[in-house]
Amino acid sequence: MKRDHAHLIPDAPALDTRSALERTASAAPDAASERTLEPLAEWLYLAPRWLPTAHAQTIVPALFAQRPAVKYRRERWTTPDGDFIDLDWLAYGADGENHARTAQGERHEAVSPSFDETTPSQNGGSAAAKSAFPDPGAPLFVLFHGLEGNSDSHYARVLMAEAKARGWFGVVPHFRSCGGSMNLLPRFYHLADSAEVDWVLRRLKAQHAGPVIAAGVSLGGNVLLRWLCEQERDAAAILDAAAAISAPLDVHAGGHAISQGFGMVYTRSFLKTLKRKALAKLDQYPGLFDRDAMLAARTLHAFDNAVTAPLHGFRDTNDYWTRATTRPYLPRIAIPTLLLNARNDPFLPGRVLPSAAEVSAAVTLHQPAHGGHVGFMTGPFPGRIDWLSQRVFGYLQTHVRQAKPAHPSPDSEHG
C-alpha cells in the first residue's frame, strides 16, 4: 500500500477559534483542567488513593484488573494489496456465533482463546443475559487497538463488554501482525497508518445497516485522529462520532517521555514483542532491514529508525514521528470527537496537550489530572476499570443518529 506520505495532510488553514472559545476556557495544568466541552460534572475522574502515581495508574489496570468476559468470532479480510487483517467481532447468541456479514470466499473462524460468557461482567448481570442478537440497525462500535495490543487487551474487553451491554455490534480490527499470525507483506503498522483505517471503515460502513462509531486507544487513537483530520467533513458519511483515548498527540514528546527513567520499562516491554516480530519478518524477507541495528535498538526511536520508518516509506524516525503527530491538525476534525487524555500520562507530557483554542468546535477535550495511560481505574482495591467504558460510551451515545433501543429483539439478525 504505497502512499506519498508528504501529501497525506495538506497545510493547515487559518482557524477561527471563536466557537471553541465561546464554549470553554483554555485548559490549565491543574485541578481546573478536569473539564470537558460538555457540562457533565458526573464525569469527574478521581484516581483511587491506593494508586498514587502515574505509573501505578497505568500498570495496575493493564496487568491486574479484573476484566469482563467477552467472546469473539474471527473474520479474516484480504487487503487490497494482497495481505490480510483479522477482525474480532463481538459474539452474540448462546452458541457464540457472530452473524457479521462475510464477503464471499473470505475465511471466517473463531478466535482463540474464547471467553466464558457466563462470567458476570462489570456492566451488570452476566454477558449471557445480554446475548440477544441486536437489531440490524443498532450501532456498530469499531475499536482500533494500541501498540502491540489486540482484542484481549484490558481496554478492548471492557469497551466491548459495554458495547454488548448496550445492544450494539462491536468489532476490533487488528493492525497487521497483531492478530496472532504474521502478515504476508514486508510491512507492519504504524502511527500514521490512516490508509488502513480508511479501507476498514469504508468496508464496515458499506456492510452495516446502522450507525458506525469508532474509537482508538493510544496508537489506534492517533491513527483514527489522523484519518479524521484527513477526511474533514467527509468523515460524516462514514462515522457518527469518534473517541481517541490516551492518543500520543505529539509523537516526539511522547517518544522522549518513554525513552528515559521509568519510561524505559514500557519501552523494553514494547521492544520485546516488536523485535520478535521483526526477526520473523526477516525470515520472510531476508535483508529487508538492518538486523543488527534492529537488535541493538534500546529505544523506540532507534527501533523505528531501523524498522518502522524504512518499511513504511519514511526517511527516518524524525520524519516518521513528525508526519505521525496529529496535534497541529486537530482543527480539521468535523464530526463529534472525544479526546480523553490524562495529564499525568507517562506516555505523553500534560504540557503538550491541546487547549480548546487549538481544536475544532467538534472536539470535546477531557483532560483529568490523573488516570495514567489508558488506566482510569476507580474504587477500592482491587479496583474497577469500567469508568473508561462508561465515559466513552456516555459521549458516543449522545451523538449516534437514529440510535436503536438498548434492548433489541432476540429475533433480529445482522445483515
Domains of the chain: which residue ranges? 33-250+331-397, 251-324
Strands 212-217 and 241-245 turn out to be parallel
CATH superfamily of 33-250+331-397: Alpha/Beta hydrolase fold, catalytic domain (3.40.50.1820)
Quote the CA–CA distance of 345 and 347 in Å, as a whole number.
Answer: 5
Q: Which three cell numbers stand for residue 195?
A: 490508509
Q: Which three cell numbers stand for residue 305?
A: 529508525
Asked whether the predicted pLDDT for residue 75 surpasses 50, the reply is: yes
Task: Let me know: does 142 contact 215? Beta carbons within 8 Å.
Answer: yes
pLDDT for res 48: 96
pLDDT for res 117: 33
User: Who has greater pLDDT, 2 or 39?
Assistant: 39
Task: Let me know: does 243 contact 338? Beta carbons within 8 Å.
Answer: yes
Nearest to 354, CA basis, from 335, 332, 371: 332
Quote the CA–CA distance of 362 and 369 in Å, as a whole number.
Answer: 23
Q: Which three cell numbers stand for residue 9?
A: 495532510
Task: Let me know: does 189 contact 222? Beta carbons within 8 Å.
Answer: no
Strands 140-144 and 169-173 turn out to be parallel
Q: Kindly report the CA angle at 392 between 36 and 329, in degrees rounded to 5?
A: 60
Task: Let me know: does 154 contact 145? Beta carbons within 8 Å.
Answer: no
Asked whether the predicted pLDDT for residue 354 surpasses 50, the reply is: yes
Question: Rg of the chain over CA atoms, in angstroms?
Answer: 20
Nearest to 148, CA basis, from 176, 173, 178: 178
| pLDDT tens sequence across 186-205 | 999 999 999 999 999 999 99
Work out the pLDDT band at 128, boundaries 50, 70, 90. very low
Does the pTM surpass 0.85? The reply is: no
User: Who has greater pLDDT, 186 or 408?
Assistant: 186
pLDDT for res 23: 32
Task: Let me know: does 126 contact 133? Beta carbons within 8 Å.
Answer: no
Residue 271 parent element (H or E): helix 263-284
User: Helix, strand or coil for residue 366?
Assistant: strand
* Backbone region of residue 308 per phi and psi (left: phi > 0; alpha: psi in -120 to 50; beta: other values): alpha
Question: Which of the 8 DSSP states describes residue 130?
Answer: G
Quote the CA–CA distance of 114 and 69 in Å, as a whole number.
Answer: 9
Asked whether the predicted pLDDT for residue 404 surpasses 60, the reply is: no
Return the beta strands (E) in 278-397 as ranges.
337-340, 363-366
Question: Which of the 8 DSSP states describes residue 257?
Answer: H
Q: Which of 50-54, 105-109, 143-147 has the lowest mean pLDDT?
A: 105-109
Write down the mean pLDDT value for the chain. 83
> Which amino acid, 128?
A
For the CA atoms of 149, 151, 154, 158, the dihedral, rounded to the nearest 10 degrees, stands at 140
